[in-house]
Amino acid sequence: MQVTSGANQKASFKEDRRLNVQEKIAAALGGMTGVLHTQMISMFILFYYTDVMQINPGYVAGLLLISRIVGAALIPPFGIVVDKVSTPWGKYVPWFMILGVPIAIFGWLTFTDFNFGPTGTLIYATVTYLIYSILVSIKAAPFNAVPPAITKRVDDRVSLGQYSYFAIMIAAIIVTTVAQPAYKALGGGDDARGFSFLMGLIAIFCILASIYQVRTLKERYVIKPKVEEKNASTKEMFRAVFTDKNAVVVYIYVLAISLATGIRSAIMIHYFKYFFNNESLVVIFGVTSLIPTIIGVMISGKIIKRFGIKPVILACTAVNVITTAAVMVIPATSSGVVIFFTTLALANMFMGLATPAQSTMLPAAMDHTEWKTGISINGFMGSFQGVMQTIAIALSGSLAAVALSMIGYVPGAEQSNETIFGLKVLMGLIPAVIFLFTASVAWFDITEEKQNQIAKELGERRRKIEANQN
């Protein structure tokens, strides 16, 4: 494996070298730019299309659903392409710019109204959003493949998880608190103009971030195609991934945690409005979710070092299951509100503790698959994490909507006792059962010691390949 040339470069890229702060920031920027786009889509695209561009809501609903389905279907094939293509600048890192620049441009185009008339606007919105949505979806393949390509150190991967979390939180806070007043101010009373200016600024930032990432991040653990002894077929890639129980565990974990939290988020406002009779508790929910999670992330490094990755994640699973199921016995009183937010804060603190640990699992599985099979398919493996997250987002909203109908929910009316009980089940019991599947981490057997051993053996293989080439 040789991603640099010259003796000095080889000497400077020692495999046990820790990532510096600039490299960690560059890697974390991928999550930040991604959240800027996904949050703008989730919070404003429906309003923009219906209220600003005056597109029929039914058409918009179909466009959003079909685009998500197409995006999810294209992620794995694109992962295969990523694994089979290499550039003079690297295998995975260049995709930060290859995809980052067009995502930024189409994000701006999507939120810019050129007034093409009713039919022209419909065609324009369809084409721009479909491309934008697909680009945002398929980026999961190369972006998730970057960490194992730039570091094999477990402590580096934990630290990357911390940096990434804070970058994601900053992006989420910016969109949720700044975007609305920003497009109002930038538009001067014209929302269409305001959205276009706002997305233009976001596009400039994302393009600059892409340039910084490509200039800063160096791949030290990727074999160039010309020195690989075999080029894996699609069938071999599928077999390599889904016969590795550690990779399967990661996908089950991602799907379960994304689906459980998605259902709770979808039903949250109904629960507060009709169980506690206080819709404004949603604001407190946001604060109670954010602050304990940040505290957990801040102290996670020492906790993970003391107890290990798997024990921390399993502790998070236990706390999530217990605190979520506790909704079933919390009373609809002021003390019940206190109990609810206390348990929520506890769960989110443990979630913060586990977040950096979770981020090490997929890179470890990627290394394990390469070590076991001799083929490197990080892009393909990273694509399935994106698929799981996309499926969870689609399912959580759909399941919540169907469930509300099944429990007899009537919008704006006083709900029956049966409906209130159904809301508690949707808020507590069902997510708790789904959270149980995150306990599959118990079967994840790549310990920190084993990760270090795998990294060492992969390094020896690379040196043998280099020696044979010389």
pLDDT digits (tens, 9 = 90+) for 27-59: 999 889 998 998 888 778 878 888 889 888 788
Q: Which two tokens stand for residue 359?
A: 């981020």
Cα–Cα distance measured from residue 245 to residue 298, given in angstroms and rounded to the nearest whole number: 31
Examine the pLDDT at 177 and tell me if it is beyond 90.
Answer: no
25-34, 217-226, 360-369: range with lowest mean pLDDT: 217-226
**247 and 216 part of one domain:** no
Cα–Cα distance measured from residue 58 to residue 309, given in angstroms and rounded to the nearest whole number: 46
pLDDT value, residue 166: 86
Q: What is the pLDDT of residues 225-242, one digit of tens each?
A: 444 445 677 788 888 888
pLDDT value, residue 258: 86
Rounded to an integer, the average pLDDT of 326-337 is 93
Question: Which CATH number fits the domain that encloses residue 129?
Answer: 1.20.1250.20
**251 and 305 part of one domain:** yes
Examine the pLDDT at 9 and tell me if it is beyond 70.
Answer: no
Which residues does residue 87 pair with via DSSP β-bridges, in sequence order?
A: 90
pLDDT value, residue 7: 35
Residue 199 CB partners (closer than 8 Å, separation 6+): 40, 107, 108, 110, 111, 112
For the chain, the three-class secondary structure string (H helix, E strand, C coil) is CCCCCCHHHHHHCCCCCCCCHHHHHHHHHHHHHHHHHHHHHHHHHHHHHHHHCCCCHHHHHHHHHHHHHHHHHHHHHHHHHHHHCCECCECCCCHHHHCHHHHHHHHHHHCCCCCCHHHHHHHHHHHHHHHHHHHHHHCHHHHHHHHHHHCCCHHHHHHHHHHHHHHHHHHHHHHHHCHHHHHHHHHCCCHHHHHHHHHHHHHHHHHHHHHHHHHHCCCCCCCCHHHCCCCCCHHHHHHHHHCCHHHHHHHHHHHHHHHHHHHHHHHHHHHHHHCCCCCCHHHHHHHHHHHHHHHHHHHHHHHHHHHCHHHHHHHHHHHHHHHHHHHHHCCCCHHHHHHHHHHHHHHHHHHHHHHHHHHCHHHHHHHHHHHHHCCCCHHHHHHHHHHHHHHHHHHHHHHHHHHHHHCCCCCCCCCCHHHHHHHHHHHHHHHHHHHHHHHHHHHCCCCHHHHHHHHHHHHHHHHHHHHHHC
Better-predicted residue by pLDDT, 158 or 416: 416
138-142, 374-378, 414-418: range with lowest mean pLDDT: 374-378
Better-predicted residue by pLDDT, 202 or 387: 202
177: containing domain: 20-222
Examine the pLDDT at 6 and tell me if it is beyond 70.
Answer: no
For CA atoms 442, 448, 454, 459, the dihedral sign is: positive
Residue 279 lies inside a defined structural domain of this protein: yes
pLDDT value, residue 433: 95
Radius of gyration of the chain (CA): 23
Q: Which two tokens stand for residue 421?
A: 């009980």
**93 and 195 part of one domain:** yes
Residue 228 lies inside a defined structural domain of this protein: no
Query: In degrees rounded to 5, what are phi and psi of residue 231?
Result: -110, 110
Average pLDDT, the chain: 84
Q: Which of 187, 222, 257 is the last residue of a domain?
A: 222
Cα–Cα distance measured from residue 113 to residue 122, given in angstroms and rounded to the nearest whole number: 11
**200 and 271 part of one domain:** no
**Among 287, 292, 110, 319, residue whose Cα is nearest residue 196:** 110
Better-predicted residue by pLDDT, 294 or 199: 199
Residue 234 lies inside a defined structural domain of this protein: no
Cα–Cα distance measured from residue 202 to residue 430, given in angstroms and rounded to the nearest whole number: 38
Task: Categorize the per-residue pLDDT at 12 as very low, low, confident or very high, splitting at 50, 70 and 90.
Answer: very low
pLDDT value, residue 4: 38
Residue found by looking up tokens 């306990």 in the block: 439
Angle at 64 between CA 166 and CA 170, to 5 degrees: 10
Better-predicted residue by pLDDT, 16 or 163: 163
Percentage of the chain modeled with pLDDT above 70: 92
Number of independent structural domains in the chain? 2
Long-range residue pairs from 54-62, CB within 8 A, at least 24 positions apart, any chain? 54/121, 55/121, 55/122, 55/125, 59/122
Examine the pLDDT at 8 and tell me if it is beyond 50.
Answer: no
Residue 319 lies inside a defined structural domain of this protein: yes
**206 and 265 part of one domain:** no
Better-predicted residue by pLDDT, 356 or 187: 187
**295 and 373 part of one domain:** yes
**284 and 179 part of one domain:** no
pLDDT value, residue 467: 66
Residue found by looking up tokens 């809301």 in the block: 423
Task: Categorize the per-residue pLDDT at 222 as very low, low, confident or very high, splitting at 50, 70 and 90.
Answer: low
**165 and 207 part of one domain:** yes
Examine the pLDDT at 322 and tell me if it is beyond 90.
Answer: yes
Angle at 428 between CA 303 and CA 313, to 5 degrees: 20
Residue 233 lies inside a defined structural domain of this protein: no
Cα–Cα distance measured from residue 308 to residue 449, given in angstroms and rounded to the nearest whole number: 10
**181 and 245 part of one domain:** no
User: Distance from CA of residue 391 to its chain's centroid?
Assistant: 12
pTM for the full predicted model: 0.74
Cα–Cα distance measured from residue 360 to residue 342, given in angstroms and rounded to the nearest whole number: 29
166, 32 Cβ separation under 8 angstroms: no
pLDDT value, residue 434: 94
**280 and 251 part of one domain:** yes
**160 and 201 part of one domain:** yes
**451 and 305 part of one domain:** yes
